[in-house]
Amino acid sequence: MSAAMWSVVIRRSSWEILRQIKRNILLGVAIRTFSTPTGLYGFPHLKTPKGFQPFVDDAIQRSGELISYICSKRPAAEVMRAMDEISDTVCSVVDSAELCRNTHPDREFVEEATKASMKINEYLHYLNTNHDLYDAVKKAEQECHMLSEEAQRGVRNLRADFERGGIHLCPEKLDRVNKLNIEISQLCREYNENIVMDPGTVDIYPSSRIPKNLHYLVKPIYCSKSLITKDLSGSGDTLKEKGFRITTNPQTLTSVLQFSSDDEVRKMVYIRGNSVPHANVDVLKRLISARHELAQIMGSRSYAEFSVKPNMAVSPKVVTSFLLEMSKMVQAKSIEERKLVMKFKREKCGRSDGDLRPWDETYYMTMMKSSSYKLDASVVGSYFSLSNCIEGLKVLVQSLFGATFRIIPLAPGESWDPHGDLGYLYLDLYSRKGKYPGCAHFAIKGARRISQTEYQLPIVALVCNFSGSRNPSAVRLNHWEVETLFHEFGHALHSLLSRTDYQHFSGTRTVLDFAEIPSNLFEYYAWDYRVLKKFARHHSTGEEIPQKLVESMQGARDMFAATDLQRQIFYALVDQTLFGEQPFPHGDISSVVAKLKREHTSCEHVEGTHWEARFSHLLNYGAGYYSYLYAKCFAATIWKKLCQEDPLSPTTGFALRTKFLQHGGAREPAALLNDLAGDGIYRYCDGGIMPDISCLCDEMKLFE
C-alpha cells in the first residue's frame, strides 16, 4: 500500500500514566532506523515462512519454563504475572499466525502460519487442561486479597476460564467436552466452507435485463437459440444469445436487489441467495445439538445460558427481555415505514393494490432515498478519498486524545505485503486475492506492564478490503465504507489506548457485550458534520464537504432506521432462540426462523428459503449477537451525554480515555460505564445489566 506507515506516538504531557516509562522506549519507535531485515510484524523469528516453526517451539519452551516456575508454589502475585506472560507468549504466536493466514499474499507464509496455528492450538489445549496450573490458580485466588483490583480480577477470570473448558469435571465428562469442542470446530469450518463452495447462481437472459451499473458483478454467458426461417429446405439457423450469470454472494445479492428494476430478476436472485448453501441446514442443526449437549454437561440449561453467563447480561432471560422491549418499541414506526414503501411502489407501478414482496423492499427503499434526498453516490464518494479518511482518523486522535500519528520507515521483512503500512497500527486496507474478505481489527500484541520501568506497547492491525487504485488519494470510499473504517478504528483505539497491567485485559479482551461499545461510538464521528468538515474535501477542488450534503446523507440514513433496527432485533432473537432451551435434536430450524420473522418484523417469509444457512454470526457469536444492540444503546447514551455537544473536545477525549478506553477489560464494565456516563446508562434486571434504551429511541424518534 502506498499510503504512509503510521505509528501512534503519545505526547508525554497527555499521558500521566506513562510518566514512569523510559523516554527511549516511547521515542525509539518514532525515530528508529533499520539497516538489517527484521521479521514479519517485527517478530525476529518471522524473517522467512519457515520461521513460524521455531517461533512456536520457542513459545512452548518459554511457557514450559513458566509452568515450572508457577508450580514451585509461588505467591499469588507471581502466579498471576507468570500466567499472563504465558498468555502473552502464546498469544503472540496465535494472533500473528491468524493475521498472516488471513492476509498474506505468499502461499508459503499462509501455509506455515496455518501449521503454526494448528500446533499452538494443540498446545493451548494442553494448557487449558493442565491441572497443575488450575490448582495453582485456585490457590492464588484464595490468597489474592492482597493483590491489586486488576490482579484479583485476573486470577478469578483465569479460574473461570479453566472451568469453562471443563477441567473441573470427571474424566468421562471432560473427555466428552473435548470431543464436542472438536466436533463444534469442524462443523463451523464445514459451514463456512459450504458458503464459499456454494454461493448460488442465477442465469438471466437476455443480457439487457441487467442494468449496466451491475455488469461488473456478473459473468457473461451464452446459449444457442433456434431461428425459424422461410427456407423451404426446413433447415434452421441458430443464434448465440448473450445473458448474465449472477453469483448470489451477499455483496452481489444486495446490489442486484438495490438496483435491478426487473421484478422477476430480483425475485429469482432473492430466492436463490436465501436458499444456499442447502447443506448448511443440516450442519446448523448438528451445531446447535452439539452446543446444547456441551452446555448441559457444563451445568447450563442451554448454550445461550452458557454463552451469556460471563457477560454483562448474565442470562438469556435478561437478553430476551431487552430484545422484546426493543421489538415492541420499534414496531409502530417500522409498520409506518413499510406502509410508505408500499404506497411508493403502488404509485410507481400505477396500481392501487399489490403487496410489497421481500425482493421489492431494498429496491424501493433505495429509490425512495434517492428521490427524497437526490443523493449521488459518486458525488458523496468524491469527498471521501482514502487519504482524506486516514487524515480524519488523525484528526480524531489529535483532537480527542492529544496523540499524533508519525510516519516511520518500514523495516525490510516487517510487512506482509509490499504495500503494507506500519506503526503500532498496521493498516492493510486494499482487497487482494486470498485475503480475509471483510473488515476487522486484529490484535498482534497486547499492552502489559513488564516491570516498574518497562511497558509493552500494543500492536494491532486494521484490515479492510477497499477496491481501486493503490494510490490512497485516488481511492473513493462510499459512506458505508467510511463508517466501517471508523467502526474498526474504534476497536483499534480500544487496543492502542489500553494501559492495563496484564495483557489478559488489554483493549478488546473484555466481555462480548462491552467490547463493541467503542466501535459503535466512533461510528457517530463518521456522520457528524463538525468532524467531517475537518477532513472530507473534494478530491479535485479541495472544497470542504457541504453541510447540506451531509444533512441529506443523514436524512437518507434515518429514513428507514426503524426497519433496519427491527431487522437486527430479529437476527438477535433468532440467535437466542436457536441456542436456547429447545427440544433436541432440533426440529425444523427454518420454521422457527419463519415464526420469529412473522412475530417481530413486518416482512414476509418466503417458503423454501433458509436465510440462516449463511448467517455466519451464528457461529462466531452463538447467543451473543445481541451484543451489537447492547453496544448501540450504550454508545447512543455516551454520545448524547459526553460527545454530542463538542465531539472533538479534549475534555471529552480525556474522559473517554481515562474512564473507559485505557482500562480494557481490567475493571467491571458496569463500573466503567457508570463512571463515564453517570447514573441511568444501565439498569439491573434479573441479576444482569440491561442498557437504557431511551437515548437510542430518542435519537430514532421512536417516542410519541
Give me the amino acid identity at 477: L
Over residues 674-702, mean pLDDT: 95
Farthest CA pair distance, the chain: 104
What was the pLDDT predicted at 187?
A: 97
Residue 17 is given by DSSP the state G
Over residues 656-667, mean pLDDT: 96
Report yes or no: 574 and 323 within 8 Å, Cβ to Cβ.
no
What was the pLDDT predicted at 579?
A: 96
User: ∠ CA 611-693-636 to the nearest 5 degrees?
Assistant: 90
- Residue 9 in this model has a pLDDT that exceeds 50: no
Q: What confidence category does residue 472 fall into, taking pLDDT thresholds of 50, 70 and 90? A: confident
What was the pLDDT predicted at 232?
A: 52
Own/partner pairs, 389-392, CB within 8 angstroms, 24+ separation? 389/477, 389/482, 389/485, 389/535, 390/3, 390/6, 390/427, 390/472, 391/535, 392/486, 392/525, 392/531, 392/532, 392/534, 392/535, 392/536
pLDDT tens digits, one per residue of 96-147: 999 999 999 999 999 999 999 999 999 999 999 999 999 999 999 999 888 9
Q: Is 543 marked active-site? A: no
Over residues 482-488, mean pLDDT: 97
Q: What is the C-alpha end-to-end distance of the chain, expressed in Å?
A: 50
Over residues 669-678, mean pLDDT: 97
pTM for this prediction: 0.90
Please tell me the class of the 310-409+473-580+623-703 domain: mainly alpha
What cell does 113 get?
A: 502460519
Quickly count helices (H) and strands (E) in the chain.
27, 12
Over residues 676-682, mean pLDDT: 95
What cell does 124 get?
A: 493451548
- Residue 425 in this model has a pLDDT that exceeds 70: yes
What cell does 198 get?
A: 456454494
- Residue 75 in this model has a pLDDT that exceeds 80: yes
- Residue 653 in this model has a pLDDT that exceeds 60: yes
Q: Residue with C-alpha cell 494510490?
A: 471
- Sequence ranges of the domains in the chain: 38-167, 200-226+238-274, 310-409+473-580+623-703
DSSP-derived 3-state class of residue 462:
strand
- Residue 561 in this model has a pLDDT that exceeds 90: yes
Which of 481, 488, 516, 523 is the catalytic position?
488
Nearest to 92 by CA among 511, 555, 445, 457: 445
How many residues are present in the chain? 704
Cβ-proximal residues to 529 (8 Å cutoff; 6+ apart), any chain: 545, 547, 550, 551
> Count of alpha carbons within 13 Å of 332, Cβ hemisphere only?
8
In angstroms, the CA 600 to CA 597 distance is 5
From the options 1.20.1050.40, 3.40.190.10, 2.60.120.590, 3.40.50.720, give the CATH code of 38-167: 1.20.1050.40
